[in-house]
Structure 1
């Protein structure tokens, strides 16, 4: 029980002990699918020692039975856990001890895999085996139900900046109170700490000016820190929106849409919509053009004009054929998302 690794002879004996006989396999195959109503309790097996003594066969058999029990409990727990609530498996360090645990558990899976005829059940068995390995070697698993939830915690950098802003505002309040004539011991102690290392004494005649300068300096720092938070937040928001646009455009547009406003009555008539947009784009408008526009027009006079293009309904149908079906026209006739 004091060894930390398995040699080849120990691994071979583990395999022989772990592989059940044909009768045991048949009995286990009949019993495994009907044991889903049990309530596993695996907390006590988290610190199970995996090392064995090469001179004690009883200890080897005992530890193999414990490993088999942990595997069965993990598989039963995985079967009864919804897919979205499964814990996230950690990355296991590569070591001889962890390899030995995996090699010892692999033959135990034969009983479950031979009696299985469902792909989802196979996934549950393999995931349960991975959970069993983590519990045997002592790896930490996150709590169930938190695998797919997104963390909305405030970033550490923002907390640090907000703490600086809070401390600076508190210091401004103390300095302002001292400048107004408050000489309480707590206020005096804070003011002395604010001017520590600056060769400024509170008995100087220009202490009021020094206080004003110190307060203005703190206000400028608060403004700079607030601007840094806004800049970082804006950059993070743009980054997340760009990444979401590449993965799920529909979700992005739902996040960007404004609250729905209920409009009483019927929507605008189609003829009115056409007349409105035609009035914006089709009516000629006289602009005040500068001399450089005449130069550009004279340079492009020799360019052969492009043939007129006629857009048919078939062309429009072909162009929007690959567009997402959740992008539809709104009441204004423009393409919106929802």
Structure 2
């Protein structure tokens, strides 16, 4: 079974023309070789992949099975390529189709009509990128390294030569390369985010804060309805809200102490609002401290700049210099007699036994030594 599975694989790979739908042909060939063995396309493909990875057959046996499956192929070309993930090149197939084909030893084949479509997508993407401001460009996603994606990139690379040779400056070169990346994403079907969505995502309100703010808004609305009912408002909408507030309890709106119950309910809601507000402030402070600590480790200059308060420029003309001097002279030049309390005597008696410190004189040599040590 293993040998026939490999024969069917090599034959399907040798007779296909596009290189992307060989599994159905391999399944048909295997059914001819093993009519008594029921197997699905997926199981057969998995079996062939397991045989190749587990090295059940050596290179010589793989070459023999390949030659038996495709006797008309070039034996010298077949001997050196026995990997299960490789795509075989067959000159007789290309000559029969008479189509220019881009072929890579590790990639699927791309026929000429696909190249023309790629060229039109590339041209459209480059023109669109040139007319789009830099801040409005979409963020490029990560592309998986599959055979088809590598083949698309290899096919688009020669097309960029004409655009790059005609480029006049670095900005235009950047637009060409970015447009090529956008074209690759469109060809392989990768999703591109909308322009400007990345900037709005970072400034969005966190989900936990939005939930708490919604609770606070509903509690405040309920407090307003309960206060209105306590003041004598008996409209149907108010009555319905009050009944919903006391639902599940043994409190009736017709009982004599309903005013006290309303007051207790309002106080309870106010306490919850205060607790929710403290939770928001606590979470916000914790998040700010965390971000500041992380920023201090990565970029201290940016942290200190964010901590600076904006300068407030006063409107109008500033005070006169003579007025400023007169104001401060009235505070500091006039002698003031302070009334000292009895505690000053207690402090003076306690400090009488303390030995005064020797006076310190800072010399230029001390300053130079301190600077050199740093």
**Bin for the TM-score computed over the shorter chain:** 0.5 to 0.7
Secondary structure at the residue paired with 1:259?
coil
Secondary structure at the residue paired with 1:58?
strand
Please identify, of 108-117 and 168-177, the stretch whose mean Cα deviation from structure 2 is larger.
Answer: 108-117
Bigger Rg, structure 1 or 2? 2
Please identify, of 150-159 and 255-264, the stretch whose mean Cα deviation from structure 2 is larger.
Answer: 255-264
Contact 2:104 2:151 in 1 (8 A): no
Task: Confirm or deny that 1:91 pairs with 2:142.
Answer: yes
Q: 1:132: Cα distance to partner? A: 0.7
Counterpart selection for 2:172 from 121, 127, 130: 121
- Structure 1 gap segments, 5+ residues each: 321-336
Counterpart selection for 1:47 from 93, 98, 103: 98
- Structure 2 gap segments, 5+ residues each: 1-51
Assess, with a 3 A threshold, how the Cα gap between structure 1 residues 165 and 233 changes in structure 2: closer, same or farther. Answer: same
Deviations 1:155-203 (A, max 9, x none): 2221211111011011011112222222111111001111112232222
Secondary structure at the residue paired with 1:77?
helix
Alpha-carbon separation, structure 2, partners of 1:79 and 1:20: 53
Please identify, of 224-233 and 194-203, the stretch whose mean Cα deviation from structure 2 is larger.
Answer: 194-203
Alpha-carbon separation, structure 2, partners of 1:144 and 1:45: 46
Task: Confirm or deny that 1:296 pairs with 2:330.
Answer: no
Assess, with a 3 A threshold, how the Cα gap between structure 1 residues 266 and 53 changes in structure 2: closer, same or farther. Answer: closer
Contact 1:201 1:207 in 2 (8 A): yes
Normalised by the size of structure 2, how large is the TM-score? 0.50
Assess, with a 3 A threshold, how the Cα gap between structure 1 residues 209 and 24 changes in structure 2: closer, same or farther. Answer: farther
Q: 1:217: Cα distance to partner? A: 1.4
Assess, with a 3 A threshold, how the Cα gap between structure 1 residues 253 and 58 changes in structure 2: closer, same or farther. Answer: closer
Assess, with a 3 A threshold, how the Cα gap between structure 1 residues 60 and 214 changes in structure 2: closer, same or farther. Answer: same
Assess, with a 3 A threshold, how the Cα gap between structure 1 residues 227 and 40 changes in structure 2: closer, same or farther. Answer: farther
Secondary structure at the residue paired with 2:358?
coil
Assess, with a 3 A threshold, how the Cα gap between structure 1 residues 294 and 176 changes in structure 2: closer, same or farther. Answer: closer
Deviations 1:102-157 (A, max 9, x none): 34434544555677798776654443222111122333323446666774222222
Secondary structure at the residue paired with 1:224?
helix
Deviations 1:14-38 (A, max 9, x none): 9999999999999999999999999
Assess, with a 3 A threshold, how the Cα gap between structure 1 residues 10 and 58 changes in structure 2: closer, same or farther. Answer: farther
Q: CA RMSD in A?
A: 12.2
Normalised by the size of structure 1, how large is the TM-score? 0.55
Q: 1:78: Cα distance to partner? A: 4.0
Please identify, of 179-188 and 80-89, the stretch whose mean Cα deviation from structure 2 is larger.
Answer: 80-89
Aligned to 2:366: 315
Aligned to 1:112: 163
- RCO higher in structure (CA 8 A, sep ≥6): 1
Q: 1:255: Cα distance to partner? A: 2.5
Q: 1:272: Cα distance to partner? A: 21
What is the number of equivalent residue pairs in this alignment? 322
Contact 2:137 2:196 in 1 (8 A): yes
Deviations 1:276-312 (A, max 9, x none): 9999999999999999999999999999999999998
